[in-house]
Amino acid sequence: MAADGTKVTSPAAHVDTPAGILAPAPEDGHRQELAGSHMVPPANALLAQAAAPVTITQDLRPPSVVLDGLFEDIARAHIYADAKTAVDAIPDEAPEDLLAQYRAAKVRPDFVLKDFVSQHFTMPERKTVTYQRSPNENVRDYIMGMWDVLQRPPDTQVQYSSQLPLPYTYVVPGGRFSELYYWDSYFTMIGLYEDGKIDLMRDMVRDMASMIDRYGHIPNGSRTYYLSRSQAPFFSLMVDLLAMHDGQIAYTTFLPELQAEYDYWMDGADSVAPGGAYRHVVRLPDGTVMNRHWDDRDTPRDESYPEDLATAASQSARKPEEVYRDLRAGSETGWDFTSRWLADGHTLSTIHTTELLTVELNCLIPHLAQTLSHAYALKGDKEAAARYARIAEERVAAMQRILWDERRAAYIDYDWKKGESTSILSGATAMPLFLQMATPEQAKAVAETIRKNLLKVGGLVATERTNSGQQWDAPNGWAPLQWMAVKGLNQYGYDELASDIAARWMGRVIGTYEKSGVLLEKYDVSNPYISPKGGKGGGEYPMQIGFGWTNGTLLGLMDRYPQNTRVVLDHNPAADLPDRPVAHALPPMNAYGVQSDKDTIDHYNLPAVALTPRPVAPTPALPQVSSVGESAPTPPSSAPPVQPPASATPAPAASAPAEAAPKPAAAPVAADTSSGAPAQTMAQPSATAPAAPAADHAAGAENVVAPATSTVVPATPAPLPPAGASAVPPGSAVPAAQPKAQQDEATPTLPPHITDVPKDNSAASQPAAH
């Protein structure tokens, strides 16, 4: 029994401290997995394990639906300190039988809900670790050692569990996040690439593809309660990263999943009327198509149920369903939460995410279209390649026109209902540079805006807003934002600023590591003093340790800025490398030009894991237009007019209803089984209701400690390779080795936007990052 009487599957030790960060080291003074965890099998054993047949039929409904009544009572009673524990707990019998027992038991005078829960739920096996470095363990060794700690083997499906089983090994973020998360994984994979763990990186891409095959999209995380939404669509960037090692076969192999991903995000685009919205699609009054974040459910998030009930109750002016929908959509952004989504800038109950066209999403969708164009060209489908190239061009032009705020000299989210930009400057302004979708003039303005308004002593703050109470605002900085800004600025020739950001961030992260012995989810980058506790609060849970995207991007920055790394380590000797090696700076490469060698092609021809496909999520019965089911108002006449591009797709007839249901999407293609491998069948019944949500936050202590021991001094970056080196395609990676041997595959011509970016080949230039 756990301390609260709840059953556990193993005597796993719990190492959280009141501060939520540090734990005593085990007797040997080194990082270990505690009881209840499993060793990860060798990579060559994964395929055989993944192909093991599975006969359990999984109920894809979220626990709040499956355990109707009981789940809400558990949440309201605050049985668990972390609401996510309730949705991860596993019922010990069929839900309908459990509910019958509950209804009979709760009317008894001696009934105690906590006792009932402890008797009928099993805590999931905890793969908890002690996050304490061994003596003399430097930061690079810590990161490399953490891959073993954060790895999870192919899942064994558990009856009545909310976990969506994955067929290949994967890496979790860390802490309470014990399943695969969508956008986190891209930044984690950067570190796997740097560390040469290509098999593991490839397996994570396969896991993502398997979820697209089964559910029609990649959910926020691999839990049933996340199925009603996705997260920022980084899958095409993951394929870019994999192609940097495997070559063009990565694009052709995952083309069906890339197409299904696009179909999911664009569902309804052909039917929604001007001024209306359907699921993730918004059509502006002039006919321009853009994307918003959306969740198919309008109930409290399962993993934050009591918090959402309280948030909705605090806002009497809105229907609770509106608040729930926008909270869920806010979780899909990955920025949960930030003043970017709040109508008044500070009150969570004013969240209106579904009314916003965000910068990141409206850059990632055209990147997905660019990737589809390239993949279809490789397959010889010239018509499809041209169609998606045209779509990408139109979407980039729309993004530049609608999200560019000349007054702020930055890319800003757009309120499609009001017909105007919001007022929040954030690190998202670097996203068009990261994906090479900004004009040279826009990039120059963004670089200056970042330098003046977002750059702090420890790196970039998430937004300008302070004291909002939300974790994705100042004073906090996050690894993905640093990485995308550094790479984006590199690609437009602003190498000195990119180097400065990298140096400041490495100083903050490594300085914290020296004091705490761990890497964390987020950091306070505004405070001149370095705290071992990392970032400030504002999330729905304590600070989390691990941490996948911090580990991955730090390793990438250390490899690209060896001089900066040397300066930071000299000021943090406890984090230093004993033999003081000089990190290697990798040259920029073009993912579209890396050819697949025979060994790689043979690897892709290994027996595939066959999964039973599921169609795209069924059309929800709930209203889909805006967040309340009404037609979106036309922007006020005072708003600046939006001119569609000359090649824009004609808008549907004005008489078409805004909420017209789109044509049902075709079922995604299942993995190839022609090799005769034993098939893994994960039978998935059609859910009677769309599944539910997730959260990505943190709350850490804010104690100020002694002044930082690290003086961050930007160092001169390593020089670029010869002037003839290839340009980097949008969001692509930088390889750890030279391109593979040339094969017979054709390499299509790069889209114009890839080659038109200004380059600075001076000695002060720095190679582009992933």
The mean pLDDT of the chain is: 76
Looking at residue 136, its pLDDT comes to 74
Q: Tell me whether residue 642 is in a domain.
A: no
Radius of gyration for the chain, computed over Cα atoms and rounded to the nearest angstrom? 25
pLDDT tens digits, residue range 350-360? 999 999 999 99
Residue 408's contacts (CB-CB under 8 Å, 6 or more residues apart) are 421, 425, 449
Q: For residue 753, is pLDDT > 80?
A: no
Q: For residue 43, is pLDDT > 90?
A: no
Q: Hey, is 290 helix, strand or coil?
A: strand
CA atoms of 294 and 629, how far apart (whole Å) = 13
**C-beta neighbour count of 653 within 10 angstroms:** 8
Cβ 359 vs Cβ 411: under 8 Å: yes
Which pLDDT band, with edges at 50, 70 and 90, does 178 fall under?
confident
CA atoms of 191 and 249, how far apart (whole Å) = 22
Asked if residue 475 has a cis previous peptide bond (ω within 30° of 0), the answer is yes
Looking at residue 624, its pLDDT comes to 43
**C-beta neighbour count of 107 within 10 angstroms:** 7
The two tokens of residue 403 are 């999200």
Q: Tell me whether residue 75 is in a domain.
A: yes
Per the annotation, the verdict on 68 as an active-site residue is: no
pLDDT tens digits, residue range 80-131? 888 888 999 999 999 999 999 999 999 999 999 999 999 999 987 666 555 5
The two tokens of residue 461 are 């703050």
CA atoms of 493 and 728, how far apart (whole Å) = 13
Q: Tell me whether residue 391 is in a domain.
A: no
CA atoms of 368 and 388, how far apart (whole Å) = 9
Which pLDDT band, with edges at 50, 70 and 90, does 37 fall under?
very low
* Of 251 and 702, more confident: 251
Which pLDDT band, with edges at 50, 70 and 90, does 208 fall under?
very high
Which pLDDT band, with edges at 50, 70 and 90, does 701 fall under?
very low
Of the candidates 179, 184, 336, 360, the residue annotated as catalytic is 336
CA atoms of 119 and 69, how far apart (whole Å) = 18
Looking at residue 542, its pLDDT comes to 54
Q: Hey, is 38 helix, strand or coil?
A: coil
The DSSP string of 432-460 is: HHHTT-S-HHHHHHHHHHIIIIIEETTEE
Number of domains in the chain: 1
CA atoms of 619 and 59, how far apart (whole Å) = 18
Helix or strand holding residue 103 (H, E):
helix 95-105
Q: Mean pLDDT check: name the lowest of 146-150, 255-259, 418-422, 603-607.
A: 603-607
- Mean pLDDT, to the nearest integer, of 687-702? 33
Q: Tell me whether residue 7 is in a domain.
A: no
pLDDT tens digits, residue range 648-694? 333 333 333 333 344 333 333 333 333 333 333 333 333 333 333 33
The two tokens of residue 30 are 């080194």
Strands 476-477 and 523-524: antiparallel
Query: Taking the mean position of all CA atoms in its chain, how far away is CA 247?
Result: 24
Cβ 214 vs Cβ 155: under 8 Å: no
Asked if residue 337 has a cis previous peptide bond (ω within 30° of 0), the answer is yes
Q: For residue 177, is pLDDT > 60?
A: yes
- Mean pLDDT, to the nearest integer, of 525-538? 82
**C-alpha distance from residue 624 to each of 25, 268, 271, 286, 359 (Å):** 51, 10, 13, 20, 22
Q: Is the dihedral of CA 238, 244, 250, 252 positive or negative?
A: positive
* Of 698 and 507, more confident: 507
pTM of the shown model: 0.76
Of the candidates 307, 521, 524, 696, the residue annotated as catalytic is 521
Q: Tell me whether residue 281 is in a domain.
A: no
Q: Tell me whether residue 95 is in a domain.
A: yes
Within 360-403, strands assigned E span none
Q: For residue 743, is pLDDT > 50?
A: no
Q: Tell me whether residue 69 is in a domain.
A: yes
Looking at residue 613, its pLDDT comes to 47
pLDDT tens digits, residue range 416-463? 999 999 989 999 999 999 999 999 999 999 999 999 999 999 999 999
Q: By percentage, how much of the chain surpasses pLDDT 70? A: 67
Q: For residue 728, is pLDDT > 60?
A: no
- Mean pLDDT, to the nearest integer, of 289-304? 97
Domain interval for residue 107: 61-124
Identify which of 389-403, 721-735, 748-762 has the greatest average pLDDT: 389-403
Per the annotation, the verdict on 4 as an active-site residue is: no
Residue 270's contacts (CB-CB under 8 Å, 6 or more residues apart) are 652, 662, 663
The two tokens of residue 217 are 């999209």
pLDDT tens digits, residue range 209-244? 999 999 999 999 999 999 999 999 999 999 999 999
Q: Tell me whether residue 331 is in a domain.
A: no
**DSSP alpha helix (H) spans, 665-770:** 752-755
Give percent helix, percent strand, percent coil of the chain, each to the nearest 5.
40, 5, 55
Q: For residue 616, is pLDDT > 60?
A: no
* Of 452 and 564, more confident: 452
φ, ψ for residue 227, nearest 5 deg: -70, -20
